[in-house]
């Protein structure tokens, strides 16, 4: 019996020792009553909890223990843990070169591989077109040229454009400006031929700020004369209808414009001969002059009329006219004889 009591007592004693040891370990971690119970560079906050002093960061070394290491403020400062660098330089900083095996060695604070250092912070790199949060995320190769973050995307500054992989911003050119590739030309529908010019099928507007589509047929839409004249000689853009028409002194035949010549005026081809009826089958250019073809007769030098067409029958009308005239004459004679 006595042996059993001794055994129980021994177990209770061991349990008490274990609890005391546990409390000591706990006190050596966070809980405290005074500064002396805290680790180096820590103090007992309000007599309850160990906290690192200003300028130091808590590093958990086990479930119950921690240590306080100094903060760092600049790229290249000595460090042991990534958190030392991230506290001052941002989440994209790391302690490069620090090791834990076989023993802990120090490293230096650097930005991570996908980040860069700017104004005391490590910013994540973003190419042109990629997502960003602030302007400093946007990185390009050209020095002294600043890209910026617009609507959460990196963009080039005005009059610059991104290269193919978004790593740099290249100068953009207006029409007539120098260029090395089509991408250098900022005007829509422009191309590079040592200088920025409009693509085939387009023409520069008068202000040289835009490439307008060139008309390929009469009556096509237009805003400026050059759209019509690029492929359609002797045309103009009607300022009211905004359509390509033949210019003054020229007329349209089969979708083309020809110099207008009236009957008996000089010509080089029949399409130049203009008559009011606009029927080109009635005219010809004969020995350098516009004339009516056979079976047509010139009228006032403005048109050709068919001389063989059937005139309306007026014989009945003439007969009635003659009868009425004779009757009137008879009545007049009788009236004269009576009086």
pTM of the model: 0.51
Minimal CA–CA distance to 48: which of 64, 62, 37? 37
User: Rg of the chain over CA atoms, in angstroms?
Assistant: 51
Structure token pair of residue 133: 């949060």
Token pair 């834990």 in the structure block, residue: 100
pLDDT at 337: 65
Please tell me the total number of residues recorded for the chain in this structure. Answer: 339
Structure token pair of residue 318: 């003439």
Strand partners, 202: 213
Cα–Cα distance, 24 to 47 (Å, whole number): 16
Q: Tell me which DSSP letter residue 156 carries.
A: P
Residuewise pLDDT in 10s, the chain (339 residues): 334 333 433 344 344 333 433 333 333 357 889 999 999 999 999 998 999 999 898 888 887 788 999 888 899 999 988 988 988 899 999 999 888 777 778 899 999 999 999 989 999 999 999 999 999 999 999 999 999 999 999 999 998 999 889 999 998 999 999 998 898 898 999 999 999 999 999 999 999 999 999 999 999 999 999 999 999 999 999 999 999 999 999 999 999 999 999 999 999 999 999 999 999 999 999 999 999 999 899 999 999 998 776 445 444 444 554 555 567 666 766 666 665
> Strand pairing of 93-96 and 196-198?
unpaired
Cα–Cα distance, 266 to 281 (Å, whole number): 18
> Strand pairing of 148-150 and 121-124?
unpaired
Element (H, E) at 258: strand 256-259
> Strand pairing of 66-70 and 78-79?
unpaired
């Amino acid at each position: 019996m006595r042996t059993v009591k001794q055994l129980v007592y021994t177990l209770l004693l061991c349990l008490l020792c274990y609890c005391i040891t546990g409390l000591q370990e706990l006190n050596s971690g966070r809980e405290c009553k005074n500064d002396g119970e805290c680790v180096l560079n820590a103090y007992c906050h309000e007599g309850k909890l160990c906290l690192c002093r200003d300028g130091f960061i808590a590093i958990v070394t086990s479930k119950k223990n921690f240590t306080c290491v100094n903060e760092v403020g600049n790229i290249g400062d000595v460090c042991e843990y990534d958190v030392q660098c991230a506290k001052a330089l941002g989440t994209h900083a790391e302690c490069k070169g620090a090791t834990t095996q076989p023993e802990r060695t120090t490293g230096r604070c650097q930005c991570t591989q996908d980040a860069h250092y700017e104004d005391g912070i490590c910013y994540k790199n973003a190419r042109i077109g990629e997502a960003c949060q602030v302007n400093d995320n946007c990185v390009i190769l050209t020095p002294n040229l600043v890209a910026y973050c617009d609507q959460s995307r990196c963009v080039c500054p005005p009059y610059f454009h991104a290269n193919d992989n978004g790593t740099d911003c290249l100068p953009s050119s207006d029409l007539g400006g120098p260029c090395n590739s089509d991408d250098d030309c900022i005007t829509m529908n422009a191309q590079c031929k040592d200088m920025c010019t409009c693509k085939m099928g387009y023409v520069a507007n008068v202000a040289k700020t835009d490439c307008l589509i060139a008309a390929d047929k009469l009556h096509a839409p237009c805003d400026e004369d050059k759209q019509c004249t690029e492929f359609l000689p002797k045309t103009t853009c009607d300022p009211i209808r905004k359509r390509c028409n033949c210019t003054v002194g020229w007329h349209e035949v089969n979708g083309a414009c020809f110099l207008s010549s009236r009957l008996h005026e000089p010509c080089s081809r029949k399409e130049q001969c203009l008559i009011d009826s606009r029927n080109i089958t009635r005219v010809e250019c004969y020995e350098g002059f516009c004339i009516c073809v056979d079976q047509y007769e010139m009228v006032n030098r403005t048109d050709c009329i068919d001389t063989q067409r059937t005139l309306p029958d007026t014989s009945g009308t003439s007969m009635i006219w003659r009868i009425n005239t004779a009757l009137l004459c008879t009545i007049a004679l009788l009236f004269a004889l009576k009086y």
